[in-house]
Structure 1
Amino acid sequence: MSDENAAQGETPETEIPATETPEVDPVEALLAENAELKDRVLRTHAEMENLRKRTERDVADTRSYAIAGFARDMLSATDALSRALLVIPEETRATAEGTLKSLIEGLELAEREMQRLLGKHGVKPIEAAGQKFDPNKHQAMFEVPNPNVPEGTVVQVVQEGFAIGERVLRPAMVGVAKGGGAAPVAEGVDKNV
């Protein structure tokens, strides 16, 4: 610095000592970078594997449950066939001849075929009669006083329920026992909890 700069009111420049940067071993730097990249690849691979599994599960669910709406609609047609057969008295069925006999046989055949086709596509009836009432599978329509049956047992099925896979398409409409003893407890269940 010159005296001239000092006279003009400028501050003298001081030399800043250069900071020494520690030398990084290139091999260690590459090993660290390699470890980081390996970790990224493993994480990406795990994410892709999870995505593949989730996609497979979604595709399987779609295949299993894609016909749920159609099956629910077909249950209405099946119910109509069943009701048509229920209104025909047993005596009329036994003595029917000619066209009436063909009509009854046609209704029975159509109902069996509808049930077979629904079963073929995974639509199964829900067991209800004699079972413990399950609000996930049954819809209680009324209570039946019955001291001979444990309370909460399904004693009458008004309309059959159906499920596809684990999903309920339509709950069974049922009558439930009231006034009987407590429902039996499954073995191994701790009642003190």
Structure 2
Amino acid sequence: MLRPLTALAMLPFLASQVIAQDFLTRDEVVAHMDASVFCYYPDTRVSCAWAELYTEQNEDHAILITASATWDFPMEIAEYRIDWRGDALCIPFEDQGLRAMWQSEGYRFPFNLEGLTPLPDDDLPARRDELREDAPREFCFQYTVDPDTPGQLRQHVFRDGVWDEELDPIALIPRFSSGVAVRP
């Protein structure tokens, strides 16, 4: 019962955010997902802090493969299932949406996933627990066009009833590029 009451209590807040922001519709977001890989915090050489390749968009969810890196460790690539809520994408708290993981030597994220080393499925429960430790119960994203940088988006993050002040810049990398550098 608390969850529906919390959702009702948040409606005025969310409505004010929608009025204040010109969020992309789900169809607009899916069009970007179909055409591009999302490169977060691109630098001048368009290497990414992390990158997301959306491989499937359905009525109720999307599947993405994301790559991130830490110095002196193999690049981590993971597949997630995240849920649509209207025009927003949300990470399910229980399993964090994690479905599979790979590693790669070097810091190039190949869009075709060739040459990646799959990690055993036995490793997934521990990684889900690790992700869930610091995760908010509600973790959702919406997108706007970046008014300062043509051809780029901004990701707006919503955690447990609060919008993050910082927006995540996203460069849209055409899928035909075949890969992108991910910097540690």
What TM-score comes out, normalization by structure 1 length? 0.23
Larger Rg, first or second structure (1 or 2)? 1
Q: Which has the higher strand share?
A: 2
What TM-score comes out, normalization by structure 2 length? 0.24
Instruction: Determine which structure has greater relative contact order: mean sequence separation of CA pairs < 8 Å that are 6+ residues apart, divided by chain length.
Output: 2
Q: Which has the higher helix share?
A: 1
